[in-house]
Structure 1
Amino acid sequence: MNDDDFGLLDTDDTLEIFKLKNVPSSKDREEADFVARRKPIKDSEFTTYEPAFLKVHEELRKGLRKLKPFDSTETNLEEGRFYILDGILLFLERVDVEEKERKIPSGNRVRKDGRTRIIFENGTESNMLYRSLGKQLLNNGKIVTETDSSIENELFKNANIVNEDDTETGWIYILKSKSTNKDIASIKDLYKIGFSKVDVKDRVKNAKKEPTYLMADVHIVSTIKCYNINPHKFEQLLHRFFAEVCLNVDIYDENGRRITPREWFVVPLPVIDKVIDLIIAESIVNYRYDSVLQDIVLRS
């Protein structure tokens, strides 16, 4: 078809083969899934949720919570979190997902999908698909951040209780980029701080094909095995602590899509290690990072 230099096949009849009839687009399917499964819930049931919505609005007004961009279903969409979609506050109460491995050019990936239960502040609910919700939020949604106290309470609960029956929750990791891009390689003290539910070596083996790793191989500086704590909450605290020195750069994947990684920070390694120790000691709330001094200081 591509060798038709004279356009002999470029007619209305031949071009019809490219027009799919009676097959809805993926976007149409997602929107239909979103709309069709929204229904009112009983007033008596909604009264158990309404105070939480009012509290979130109050905490947003006071600055205890903030609205952040939603840029990844895999890392941003969590059970028990609040989100803004098309200007409406929603609570993702439950996620009944299954993880299935699929093959893509850059290697095997685990893909999650399944039904959810979502409560909206207007008194409706939905059981739309997990990935459909993620795509809707990517199009026109925001994350409502948790309050500092809720993150810390979740992180420190049972954090120091480890016994032989425990299994790893995941791994906090610190990486350094091997990028040859002069704009990246020239940055001193640039590190990625994140977490993985699988072995970090397996997680980063295709780093040079993934924008989140700056399309380059990485050096594993250190890994921290987590027991009885939520590693994602651990990561959130680190990211909040170093938000002022988060790397702001756009990376393009092999298909030309622009992605802005959010887990790279310009901060000396000893400071990162010190902050991790403070989190484990449950005293991080007493400190902040001073980007001018490049050190941790007591909160005033």
Structure 2
Amino acid sequence: MSDNDFQSIFDSDEDGLLDTPEKAPKLTSADRLERSFLEIVEFYREHERPPRSDTREIAERKLGARLEGILASDDKSAGLKHLDEFGLLVEPEAPASLDDLLEGDDLGLLDDDSGLLDTSDLPQRKSPEASADAAQRVRAEDFEQFEPLFQQQHAELANGASKLVAFPGMQHIVEGAFFVLNGVMLFIADVGETEYKTTTVRVNRRERLRVIFENGTESSMYRQSLGIRMGEGHGQAVVPAEFESVLADDVATGYVYVLRSLSDDPLIQEVPDLHKIGFSRGPVEKRVAHAERQPTYLMAPVEVVASYRTYNLKTSALEHLLHRVFSDKRLRVSQVGKDGRVYEPSEWYSVPLRVIDQAIELITSGDIVDYEYDTEARELRLR
């Protein structure tokens, strides 16, 4: 075949099928750095926060470690400024206080898992002034509502129903939790709405607590502030004795409780094995303190016959499953509230306590899907 024949073939290749593909330009170290940083930018765009390096999510942990490496290098940070649309590389303003410092630690760089920041063994500087922590406390006007809860916790510690464990971490500071700090028991009565504090770098979130102390005082410190004080003061958490340890991933989610009505209404008294199954994020005794004023409790005092503390579990889902299992035995009654409105309490069931106990065990194990409640035999049986 002549050269002219070859040329005619190339000339007739209108679609460019015979064109030699161009080689992709070789990536430089600067190109790779930009690509890796853009992945971090995309993470922030999707989650509205920087990635963390201490999470169990492998992909996020990788991005968090990468961001820490970039922040540690002035050269890398300078070379990526043109891509930093969210201010991830901007040097933050100096914090005005310890609380501001802790609240702005989005990457968890100040977490002290090793104990290197524990200064409890160092000599304490004496000051004639009251401590900042004590100065923030005020007398709890409604302490009489909480005093029985402290008495109950001390009784359970004494009889072995509860025990003290080392402070397991910030995530355990939730409504209804008990802790001991510097020898004083405290109770998390309330966790406020999340507040968002905007800085020049990012938006930080924080929650203010209502902390009740057994000496009759209370404080409205932030969750981060209490966490650092618990760490510095060798704080302890009060947990049920059956839990050998409370791990970092074990989060108390609330209580499922069972109540018996103490109503003197003959129509209520004649219902056999009448129990209310409910859910509370805090201690049950506080939840039912004024039962006689509330239609949901049949406008009468109640007796707590059982409560189940749940960990790592969406307690409201457990409650919903119990209601579904026993739906055929739900009490159908109307109550008139103090406001004159008519209410229909929906969580009272004519079911023996032993069957409720069994149902909760089956839900926890995941086997409840194979069972149903036999209303005639008053037993749970396989479907």
Which of the five TM-score ranges fits, normalised by the shorter chain?
A: 0.3 to 0.5
- What is the TM-score normalised by the length of structure 1? 0.46
Q: If each structure's strand is expressed as a fraction of its own residues, which one has the higher value?
A: 1
- What is the TM-score normalised by the length of structure 2? 0.36
